[in-house]
Amino acid sequence: MSNKNIGDYLRRFSVPIMFVIICAVCAPISGLSPSYLANEIVTRMGRNAFLILSLLIPIMAGMGLNFSMTLGAMAGEIGLILVCDWQIVGIPGMVLAMIISIPISALLGLFCGKVLNMAKGREMITSYIISFFINGIYQLVVLYLMGPVIPIKHSTIKLPRGYGVRNTVSLLSMRQKLDNLIPLSIAGVKIPVATFIIVFILCLVIIWFRKTKLGQDMRAVGQDMEVAKDAGIDVERTRIISMVLSTVFAGIGMIIYLQNMGNIATYSSHSQIGMFCIAALLVGGASVDKASIGNVFLGIILFHTMFIVAPKAGTVITGDSMIGEYFRVFVSYAVITVALIMYETNKRKNKSRASAQLALEQEEEVNG
Amino acid sequence: MGKAPLLEMKNIKKDFFGNQVLTDINLTLKEGEVIGLCGENGAGKSTLMKILFGADVIRETGGYGGDIILNGEKVSFQSPFDAIAKGIGMVHQEFSLIPGFTATENILLNRESKKKSVLSDLFSDRMDTLDRKDMDTRAAEAIKKMGVNIDQNMLTSNMPVGHKQFTEIARELSKEQLKLLILDEPTAVLTEKEAEALLESIRGMSKRGIAVIFITHRLGEILSVCDRVITMRDGYVVNESETKDTSIAEITKWMVGRDVEGSDADYVTEDTGVNKKIVMSIRKLWVDMPGETVRNVNLDVREGEILGIGGLAGQGKLGIPNGVMGLYQAGGTVTFDGIDIPLNNPRRCLDSSFAFVSEDRRGVGLLLDESLEWNISFPAMQIQDKFLKKYLGGLIKWRDDAAIKEVTDKYIDELKIKCTSSTQKAKELSGGNQQKVCLAKAFALEPKLLFVSEPTRGIDVGAKALVLDALKKFNKEKGVTIVMVSSELEELRRTCDRIAIVSGGKVSGILPAGEQLEKFGELMLQNC
Amino acid sequence: MSEQTTKNTFQDKVKKVAEEFGLPRLIITGFLVLLLVISPFVGADLPTQISNIINRFSWNGILVLAMVPMVHSGCGLNFGLPLGIISGLLGATLSIELGFTGPVSFFMAALLATPFALVFGSVYGWLLNKIKGGEMMIATYVGFSSVSLMCMMWLLLPYHSPNMVWGMAGKGLRTTISLEGYYTQALAKILQINIGNLSIPTGALLFFALLAFLMWAFLHTKTGTAMTAVGSNPEFARSAGINVNKIRLISVVMSTWLAAIGILVYEQGFGFIQLYMAPFYMALPAVSAILIGGASVNKASIMNVIIGTILFQGIVTMTPTVMNNMIHLDMSEVIRIIVSNGMILYALTRKTEGAK
């Protein structure tokens, strides 16, 4: 019995353990100093935590990994672009950008939730395609409508041709304003206290949310839609709400992420964000149907350590800097692939385990 | 007395698309009374309960006739939620529980205790937080009411099956308005001890003034716990008695008994084939078919006969053909013509000249999106290389569409399949014609042994006769041995030579088709 | 009276055709026709446009055809197409590395790609059999993982041909490799027809026709029939003694092999081998093309492939020129993204007919 438990635990934490090993091997090879590493990880923690936390709610509602969190990211970018053009700087600018992003995120989340309700059972592939589809719409808005329809004044943002937004929008006026709001540095490690406070508040909100009626309903819907429906829970609405919440949080998370980066890559910032966030969450030991706040933070530490050390280590070993770059991209995809495969096979294993049990019982009965 | 009864159902009628399933049902129930409801499958018990519980399927199929009067007030439930609000609770055969929730959470599913939170005024009351403490007390109360102890903090997925059942019952009991509880075969999944505890808790409920309608095949339980027993057959209430005045034997008789006088059916009354060769023998067969578990079946099939397999639903009769044909995990030995047939391998069964007409017509029996031609010819093509043209010395096996059309037209003609052409899609046919297509598919294989499972389920009377006649003809003319599984005893008696009755996953007896009905009834209820 | 009824039935017929054809498809067809009609008025040369469409059809047709077997066997849309493409790329680079030139290099590339496609396809098919029901998502990520793994491999594998490796380092393959002197236009040049601005790559079209015919023929054999039945209702197939997993495996291997050949044909038309991240998003255009052609998640025919590829490539090639000439605004990329992904979304959200 205990043996089996250990096996189960090992399997559950196989991905984090694998990452601990990768990091432990690569970190010394990379030759990066511990203080540099610590600084980088703390920075990335502040940068990414909010975004990754936004993934938790759809997992709770049984909708799997929310590949369409990029929708929120796009909404956040639109907010920031507008605020930049209006030249509202610093923290007020960020707050305003968030306020602008929220209705856009909510609308996109609503759309996404409705579409996913039509594609029950294949939420993930659908949400993945939605992110591409909305990316098309986003490009339409940012590349063609910004200028003639949505007024954009400043030439630093506008493309020289007179409409559309430049490839990069500088956020110099907001750069790390939130991170540096409360300056603190411990042993040479700069700590973005204000960002951490906001992340901490979101964690509290999520913990509290789990205790609400809505949170309970989401758990019920996530585990068995039919039973939840029979008990009178409005399944479709609950699922839509979970998507809206996730998208709105992702939008705010993206603004925090970009204020740290200091500029927006208008057409590519959001496109990879979903993949990296999901990979980080999975590296932290989450699965398609189960994820906790602990997974988020463990995931950020392990995934980003790998992210920082892999290219360096790759360069040291092979003398080619690209190897490490490709390696970390490969690992991100591989982690998601493995997690998806484990999720699907576990579903099947549970079923066949039940039937094996029955067969055994009957065998005993017949023979005994 | 003088007090109005809790529930009165008057002249309840129901038909599904012209097929009368309930006729003039009258039923009254007093506060705290326990009545037992029994009858064969298809007698109309479930339909009656669905009407009472306001199930969606009733409304979708055109509603019902007659009145339901609850507490002196005429009611017509639009959904189960209306019924629940009026104090009716129902525990279904299938569990309706969230696996990752504790007993408490499941008992109070969507009726959790809540505390106001800051955001609930701002948004909706779904932002209220849960009051875990109060939930624990309420769940504990409900469990106490039930009188059976279960661990209220245990996750449902870790519970033994009996405790899941009790959790469901506790959920109903936790509803304060509950006045009438319907239990649909609750003891089927319980161990003997648990079943005894459940009966005790029913007595307790009755003392608290909760009326109970108890549906079960275990007649002993009815006698021990119910005040009255109502027996249904073919959509009628055939008897209503005080339990103290009756016996298991009597109830069995009511359940299966029919007015045989005047019927012109000729039954095979004697077992004439004792000396015939045994063509297939099944030993120690177990089959893991959900809901139709076969535990230990020994059965011999004689050459050229039609063997019927009957029994109540859920007792395992459907598991036998499905297990032998390899569609569900099975164990044991099956020999045919002296050769061992490996289990769990449909291909080997078909190679041994078996054929199977599944009870799950739409799920297993047909390619709904494909033409009749494909449906009828497919197994014969794949198994026996029929309807193929071979080129390059058999390297290329080309589908011979002309031969396929020919054979399809032959069976359309022979079985009178109503269709526009042989290329019509199977999903566009009516149930009866779909069933004929399934038969044609099996006939095209020209089997030595044919399993037919529920051949008349869900098809109209005319098609029924055609299907059964076709089977008889196939048996007589081609000498094919047929094993036919059906829930309808009468149909088995008219078609078969012998009938094996399955109960509790075992064969409880084999009788000649013309044997008295009571004897079949006894066998059916033997191991339930 | 009778006129009324015939009119009604005619209307019904039109309605039925529209329904079968599907609204999105109707809109796309209408859009393409509109583009073709207005193109001469905005100064675009119609013959050039048409030969563009035909050429791009000949490049992409086989990649779209690769979708068919897996849809037939019920594995869904093959989002894992990049895996097959990688097999093709391995074949292409090996053929050049081994020193083959001219049209022979195309033949050798196809030959060398085949064992890779068979091995990768088998492993991929085995995996998909383990996770029935979740194929599409996992296929997507299997594709991504394999592409990013190969990114490392292109750098590490010991290629030496000076035409392929980075000049400075002398190792590691370049991101784009010119096929000049190898098999550029190898198929297209065969029997090529040139009339004014209209040029038809007859050989490439014939090659597509050959593979499409073979696919059509396969679907008419015993195994092909079994494949369709497995996709239509796996339970039915199982009860008829079919080894469902084996059939699915065959379909995946076929799809992977077709993708490998498909990318080679694409390259001979395009004139370059694109490595590294290039195969990454190649599945999506192929998926949406077959859906635009009228396929659904579990039904597809050769006709769907042909119509879909023409429509999809038509829109991709026509919109930039027409739009540019008309309003001096190149929205083609955005339109392509919205149309192709919108089409996939539409297919995913439609309830699959029949038993499922």
Average pLDDT, whole number, for chain B? Answer: 86
Per residue in B196-228, pLDDT (tens digit) is 888 988 998 898 889 999 998 888 888 889 999
Strands C176-178 vs C272-274: parallel, antiparallel or unpaired: antiparallel
- Between positions 273 and 332 of B, the ones with CB within 8 A of C are 325, 327
Percent of chain B at pLDDT above 70? Answer: 97
Distance (Å, whole) CA A335 – CA A328: 10
- Least Cα separation, residue B355 to chain A (angstroms): 25
- Least Cα separation, residue B393 to chain A (angstroms): 42
- Within an 8 Å CB–CB cutoff, is residue C351 touching chain B? no
Choose among A217, A83, A238, A235: nearest CA to A150: A83
The reply to whether residue A211 touches residue B130, judged by beta carbons under 8 angstroms, is yes
Q: What's the whole-number mean pLDDT along residues A177-182? A: 84
Choose among B167, B159, B206: nearest CA to B186: B167
Between the two ends of chain B, the Cα-to-Cα distance in Å is 38
- Least Cα separation, residue C225 to chain B (angstroms): 8
pLDDT of residue C355: 31
The reply to whether residue B398 touches residue C220, judged by beta carbons under 8 angstroms, is yes
Tokens at residue B46, please? 């479930």
pLDDT at B452 over 90: yes
pLDDT of residue A285: 86
- Chain A residue whose CA is closest to C171: A320
Residue listed under structure tokens 């690992």: A331
pLDDT at A367 over 70: no
Structural domain range at position C119 = 45-187+199-349
CA distances from B377 to A195, A273, B366 (A): 68, 53, 11
Per residue in B344-360, pLDDT (tens digit) is 889 988 998 999 999 88
pLDDT at A116 over 60: yes
Grouping H, G, I as helix, E, B as strand and the rest as coil, residue B308 is strand
Q: Is residue C182 included in any domain, yes or no?
A: yes
What residues of chain B lie within 8 A of the CB of A352, using their CB?
none
What residues of chain A lie within 8 A of the CB of B110, using their CB?
217, 220, 228, 231-233
Q: What's the whole-number mean pLDDT along residues B115-140? A: 83
Q: Is residue C81 included in any domain, yes or no?
A: yes
Q: What's the whole-number mean pLDDT along residues B447-470? A: 86
- Chain B residue whose CA is closest to A241: B126
- Within an 8 Å CB–CB cutoff, is residue A220 touching chain B? yes
Distance (Å, whole) CA A72 – CA A131: 10
Q: Is residue C329 included in any domain, yes or no?
A: yes
Percent of chain C at pLDDT above 70? Answer: 93
pLDDT band at C353 (very low <50, low <70, confident <90, very high): very low
- Chain A residue whose CA is closest to C144: A333
Average pLDDT, whole number, for chain C? Answer: 85
Residues B250, B254, B257, B258: what is their CA dihedral angle, to the nearest 10 degrees? 150
Task: Tell which wins on pLDDT, C329 or A317.
Answer: A317
- Least Cα separation, residue A212 to chain C (angstroms): 31
- Within an 8 Å CB–CB cutoff, is residue B397 touching chain C? yes
Tokens at residue A236, please? 């479709």
Distance (Å, whole) CA C226 – CA B104: 50
Per residue in C119-161, pLDDT (tens digit) is 999 999 999 998 887 888 889 889 999 999 999 888 888 888 8
Is residue A16 within 8 A of residue A272, CB to CB? The reply is no
pLDDT at A75 over 90: yes
The reply to whether residue C152 touches residue A124, judged by beta carbons under 8 angstroms, is no
What residues of chain A lie within 8 A of the CB of B295, using their CB?
362, 365-366
Least confident of A4-8, A64-68, B139-143, B374-378: A4-8
The reply to whether residue A233 touches residue B295, judged by beta carbons under 8 angstroms, is no
**Interface chains of chain A (3 or more CB pairs under 8 Å):** B, C
Residues B43, A227, B61, B42: what is their CA dihedral angle, to the nearest 10 degrees? -10
Selected for mutation to probe chain C from A133, A142, A149, A328 (highest C CB count within 10 Å) is: A133
The reply to whether residue B382 touches residue C239, judged by beta carbons under 8 angstroms, is no
What residues of chain A lie within 8 A of the CB of C335, using their CB?
136
Q: Is residue C26 included in any domain, yes or no?
A: no
Q: Is residue C146 included in any domain, yes or no?
A: yes
- Within an 8 Å CB–CB cutoff, is residue C130 touching chain A? yes
pLDDT of residue A351: 67
The domain tally of chain C equals 1
pLDDT band at C118 (very low <50, low <70, confident <90, very high): very high
Based on DSSP, count helices (H) and strands (E) in chain A, helices before strands: 14, 4
The Cβ of residue B304 has, within 10 Å, a number of other Cβ atoms equal to 18
What residues of chain B lie within 8 A of the CB of C220, using their CB?
398-399
Q: What's the whole-number mean pLDDT along residues B164-187? A: 89
Q: What's the whole-number mean pLDDT along residues C192-213? A: 87
Number of Cβ pairs closer than 8 Å across A and B? 79
pLDDT at C110 over 80: yes
Q: Is residue C11 included in any domain, yes or no?
A: no
Least confident of B233-242, B455-464, C177-186: B455-464
Per residue in A300-311, pLDDT (tens digit) is 999 999 888 888
Grouping H, G, I as helix, E, B as strand and the rest as coil, residue B528 is coil
pLDDT of residue A159: 85
Residues B189, B191, B196, B197: what is their CA dihedral angle, to the nearest 10 degrees? -80
Grouping H, G, I as helix, E, B as strand and the rest as coil, residue C74 is coil
pLDDT at B466 over 90: no
CA torsion sign for B369, B374, B377, B379 is negative
pLDDT of residue B396: 86
pLDDT of residue C89: 93
Q: Is residue C327 included in any domain, yes or no?
A: yes
pLDDT at C93 over 60: yes
Choose among C161, B285, C353, B146: nearest CA to A366: B285
pLDDT of residue B3: 63
Choose among C94, C77, C104: nearest CA to C259: C77
pLDDT of residue C352: 52
Residue B258 dihedral angles phi and psi, to the nearest 5°:
-135, 165
- Residue B316 CB contacts under 8 Å (≥ 6 apart), including other chains: B287, B289, B292, B293, B294, B295, B297, B502, B504, B505, B506
Per residue in B366-407, pLDDT (tens digit) is 998 889 999 999 999 998 888 888 888 778 888 888 999 999
Per residue in C257-282, pLDDT (tens digit) is 999 999 999 998 888 989 888 888 88
- Within an 8 Å CB–CB cutoff, is residue C153 touching chain A? no
Choose among B95, B110, B112: nearest CA to B167: B95
The reply to whether residue A327 touches residue C337, judged by beta carbons under 8 angstroms, is no
Per residue in B34-91, pLDDT (tens digit) is 999 988 777 888 889 888 988 888 888 888 888 899 888 888 888 888 888 888 999 8
pLDDT of residue A336: 84
Distance (Å, whole) CA B199 – CA B33: 14
The reply to whether residue C141 touches residue A118, judged by beta carbons under 8 angstroms, is no
Q: Is residue C20 included in any domain, yes or no?
A: no
Per residue in C6-54, pLDDT (tens digit) is 556 677 777 777 676 677 778 888 888 888 888 878 777 788 888 888 9
Nearest neighbour of B296 by CB, restricted to A226, A233, A366? A366
The Cβ of residue C193 has, within 10 Å, a number of other Cβ atoms equal to 10
Among left, alpha and beta (phi > 0; psi -120 to 50; other), residue B303 is: beta
Average pLDDT, whole number, for chain A? Answer: 86
Among left, alpha and beta (phi > 0; psi -120 to 50; other), residue B299 is: beta
Q: What's the whole-number mean pLDDT along residues B243-271? A: 71
Selected for mutation to probe chain C from B349, B354, B361, B368 (highest C CB count within 10 Å) is: B368
Query: How does DSSP assign B226-251, residue by residue?
Result: -SEEEEEETTEEEEEEEGGG--HHHH
pLDDT of residue A77: 93
- Least Cα separation, residue A297 to chain C (angstroms): 24
- Within an 8 Å CB–CB cutoff, is residue C168 touching chain A? no
Choose among C119, C117, C97: nearest CA to C108: C97
What residues of chain C lie within 8 A of the CB of B385, using their CB?
222
Least confident of A157-166, B105-114, B263-272, C110-119: B263-272
pLDDT band at B500 (very low <50, low <70, confident <90, very high): very high
Q: What's the whole-number mean pLDDT along residues B417-428? A: 88
Per residue in B263-287, pLDDT (tens digit) is 445 666 666 777 788 899 999 898 8
- Within an 8 Å CB–CB cutoff, is residue B260 touching chain C? no
pLDDT of residue C340: 85
Percent of chain B at pLDDT above 90? Answer: 24
CA distances from B496 to B194, B468, B472, B515, B523 (A): 39, 10, 9, 12, 17
Query: How does DSSP assign A72-96, residue by residue?
Result: HHHHHHHHHHHHHHTT--HHHHHHH
pLDDT of residue C117: 95
Per residue in A16-51, pLDDT (tens digit) is 888 888 888 888 888 888 888 999 999 999 999 999
Nearest neighbour of B96 by CB, restricted to A208, A230, A362? A230
Q: Which CATH number fits the domain that encloses residue C315?
A: 1.10.3470
pLDDT at B306 over 70: yes
- Within an 8 Å CB–CB cutoff, is residue C155 touching chain A? yes
- Within an 8 Å CB–CB cutoff, is residue A211 touching chain B? yes
Per residue in C59-80, pLDDT (tens digit) is 999 999 999 999 999 888 888 8
- Least Cα separation, residue C114 to chain A (angstroms): 25
pLDDT band at B176 (very low <50, low <70, confident <90, very high): confident
ipTM: 0.84
Q: What's the whole-number mean pLDDT along residues B488-509? A: 88
- Least Cα separation, residue C9 to chain A (angstroms): 32
